[in-house]
Amino acid sequence: MSQAAWAEGIARALLEEPLPRRWAHSQGVAAAARALAPVLGRHTNIVTAAAWLHDIGYAPAVHGCGDDLFREFKPAARGLSDALTYCDMTTGPQGQPLTAEQRFAEISDRYGPDHVVTRALARSAPELAASAARISRKLGGRALVPRPAQVPALMGAC
């Protein structure tokens, strides 16, 4: 079993029922990672696995494990981290493709101006945008082929 297939199973088990929007978003991020295969080459599988798992920290069953995860795993190389950031910052909550700018606005609108997520996004937006731009340059400035929303029935469910 590939790392990506293993990670998909873990993400499905943790997100699909309790957090269907996170699950839809994770499906879109994984699809974006697979679409980066021409840029990622042999690293496609590991970035796709990371894409499946990038939001499992929101799952009720995983809360409180952050310290263990940080001790267990080393940070990824910048190019791989950029790829995952690009995939996350160009995928909306239902798995739909967005520009990074649209994604920043969507997150800010969803959480509101005073929420800790919005404040953290405001501080990290320059680096997140730079990560997305580095991958965009590797794609020759073109966007990925638009990905359909992975779970269209969820569009108004949450």
Q: Higher pLDDT residue, 152 or 48?
A: 48
Partners of 97 in the beta sheet? 91
**Single pTM value for the model:** 0.82
Give, in order, the Cα–Cα distances in Å from 130 to each of 16, 81, 97, 134.
Answer: 31, 12, 18, 6
Reported as a single tens digit per residue, the pLDDT across 62-75 is 867 767 767 777 77
pLDDT bin (cut points 50, 70, 90) of residue 61 is confident
pLDDT of 76? 81
Q: Among all chains, which residue has been given the structure tokens 């990038």?
A: 54
Q: What integer is the mean pLDDT of 18-38?
A: 95
Angle made by CA atoms 123, 126, 128, in degrees to the nearest 5: 95
Tell me the domain boundaries of the chain.
Answer: 3-154
Q: How far apart are CA 36 and CA 148, in angstroms?
A: 16
pLDDT of 69? 67
Q: Higher pLDDT residue, 100 or 67?
A: 100
